[in-house]
């Protein structure tokens, strides 16, 4: 193993650069150094002007997602040793989002979509605290637990060709969270979320490419969630037809 | 947000895919290998008896129509995915329209038989 590795970082300074250009940094190589730690090394030792997001260093905050050799991955969960043989790697901000500066993507659109699906437990009526907690059996927890592991890192949006094509698509993480709360026995908000799921911009823009599930660092499997959303939306469509046939209101 | 009508297309696509997976190999074996080597008159009477029965008609229609919708759904979305520079609405009309025309033709033929 050579003792250093060339890291090419796409730099972009708003107002100064026309488009991102790559800048090379040589970082000392060690087997336990992550891409995020390498960025910290560059910032501390080589170039204090480099901009990137990070916080927890342990794949739970979801801040350090970048394109690593063209693949959306978490900087903290990817190690330089993987690229040691090639002696170089290339970093750029997450695909499918506008670049704010250097490795920082503007994920505003993703945040808007998250809000659309109301990713919190909705109660029709609030229970007084004196009545105790909302209890759940292990089986009820099991129904949604996998989908609750999402850390909102946005890697699935950088992976999704449909979101890249048209960012009005609610996208993998938002649709997964919609299902996560719809499956929660404590939640009453399912009807409110279905309008978003039922739209073209909802589950129906997805064509089951499945790359979102491949890149998910928490094994949430958004592709499965979105396709279960399609089943739910199809049932909802049928029930709505029945309501219309009985002369009731379109929902 | 406006409700999408995609559940209709996706439902037919899903049903067609399921049917193909379940009876597709059997159909290939029956129509491609068994029938050509069977005694012609016996094969004709067997198929004729199937078509004469209402349930046989229904099964045949399902085996023809659902895979058709499955195929055109794939074509429609595949062309989009390949960024084919074609008008979206026209492609949808041609795909689902041709499947519908062929379905109606098959249903009419089965009904008069």
> Which domains occur in chain B, in start order?
6-112 (1.20.1300.10)
Q: Are A139 and A202 in contact (CB under 8 A)?
A: no
Looking at residue A102, its pLDDT comes to 97
For A14, residues 6+ apart whose C-beta sits below 8 A from its C-beta are A100, A101
Looking at residue A1, its pLDDT comes to 56
For B1, residues 6+ apart whose C-beta sits below 8 A from its C-beta are A195, A196, A198, A199, A201, A202
State whether B10 and A201 contact (CB < 8 Å): no
pLDDT cut 90: percent of chain B above it: 78
Q: Does A230 touch chain B (CB under 8 A)?
A: yes
Report which of B73, B50, B65 is spatially closest to residue B102, judged by C-alpha positions.
B65
pLDDT tens-digit series, residues B4-43: 999 999 999 999 999 999 988 998 998 899 988 989 899 8
CATH number of A108-245: 1.10.1060.10
Chain A residue with minimum CA distance to B76:
A207
Distance CA B47, CA B113 (A): 12
Distance CA A190, CA A193 (A): 5
Distance CA B107, CA A211 (A): 40
Quickly state the pLDDT bin for A206 (edges 50, 70, 90): very high
pLDDT cut 70: percent of chain A above it: 100
Q: Where in chain A is the domain with CATH 1.10.1060.10?
A: 108-245
End-to-end CA, chain B: 47
- Strands A88-92, A4-11: pairing is parallel
Phi then psi for residue A79, to 5 deg, are -110, 145
Q: Where in chain A is the domain with CATH 3.10.20.30?
A: 4-105
CATH homologous superfamily of A4-105 equals: Beta-grasp domain (3.10.20.30)
- Strands A99-101, A4-11: pairing is unpaired
Complex prediction ipTM: 0.83
Chain B partners of A178 at a C-beta cutoff of 8 Å?
A: none
Query: Once rounded to an integer, what is the mean pLDDT over residues A112-135?
Result: 93
pLDDT tens-digit series, residues A185-197: 999 999 999 999 9
Looking at residue B1, its pLDDT comes to 86
Token couple for A51: 């901009």
Quickly state the pLDDT bin for A249 (edges 50, 70, 90): confident
State whether A199 and B4 contact (CB < 8 Å): yes
State whether B81 and A207 contact (CB < 8 Å): yes
For residue B110, count CB atoms less than 10 angstroms from its CB and return exposed for 0-12, middle for 13-18, buried for 19 or more.
middle
pLDDT surpasses 90 at A4 = yes
pLDDT tens-digit series, residues A140-158: 999 999 999 999 999 999 9
Looking at residue B88, its pLDDT comes to 87
């Amino acid at each position: 193993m050579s003792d250093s590795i060339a890291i090419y970082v796409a730099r972009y300074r708003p107002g100064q650069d026309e488009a991102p250009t790559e800048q090379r940094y040589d970082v000392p190589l060690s087997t336990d150094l992550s891409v995020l730690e390498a960025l910290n090394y560059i910032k501390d030792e080589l170039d204090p002007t480099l901009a990137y997001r990070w916080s927890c260093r342990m794949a739970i905050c979801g801040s350090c997602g970048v394109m690593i050799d063209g693949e959306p991955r978490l900087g903290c969960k990817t190690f330089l040793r993987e690229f040691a043989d090639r002696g170089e790697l290339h970093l750029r901000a997450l695909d499918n989002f506008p670049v704010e500066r250097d490795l920082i993507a503007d994920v505003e659109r993703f945040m808007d979509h998250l809000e659309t699906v109301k990713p919190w437990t909705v109660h029709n009526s609030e229970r007084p605290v004196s009545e105790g907690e909302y209890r759940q059996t292990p089986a009820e927890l099991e129904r949604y637990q996998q989908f609750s592991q999402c850390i909102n890192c946005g890697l699935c949006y950088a992976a999704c060709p449909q979101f890249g094509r048209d960012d009005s698509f609610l996208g993998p993480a938002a649709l997964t969270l919609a299902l996560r709360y719809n499956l929660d026995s404590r939640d009453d908000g399912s009807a409110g979320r279905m309008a978003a799921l039922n739209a073209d911009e909802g589950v129906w823009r997805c064509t089951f490419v499945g790359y979102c599930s491949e890149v998910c660092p928490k094994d949430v499997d958004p592709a499965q969630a979105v396709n279960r959303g399609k089943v739910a939306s199809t049932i909802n469509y049928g029930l709505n037809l029945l309501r219309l046939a009985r002369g009731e209101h379109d929902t | 947000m406006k409700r999408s009508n995609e559940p209709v297309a996706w439902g037919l696509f899903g049903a067609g895919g399921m049917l193909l997976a379940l009876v597709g190999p059997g159909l290939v074996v029956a129509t491609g290998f068994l029938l050509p080597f069977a005694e012609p008159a016996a094969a004709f009477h067997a198929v004729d008896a199937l078509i004469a029965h209402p349930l046989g008609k229904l099964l045949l229609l399902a085996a023809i129509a659902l895979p058709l919708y499955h195929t055109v759904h794939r074509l429609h979305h595949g062309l989009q995915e390949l960024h084919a520079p074609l008008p979206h609405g026209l492609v949808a009309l041609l795909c689902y329209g041709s499947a519908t025309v062929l379905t109606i033709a098959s249903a009419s033929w089965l009904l008069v038989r």
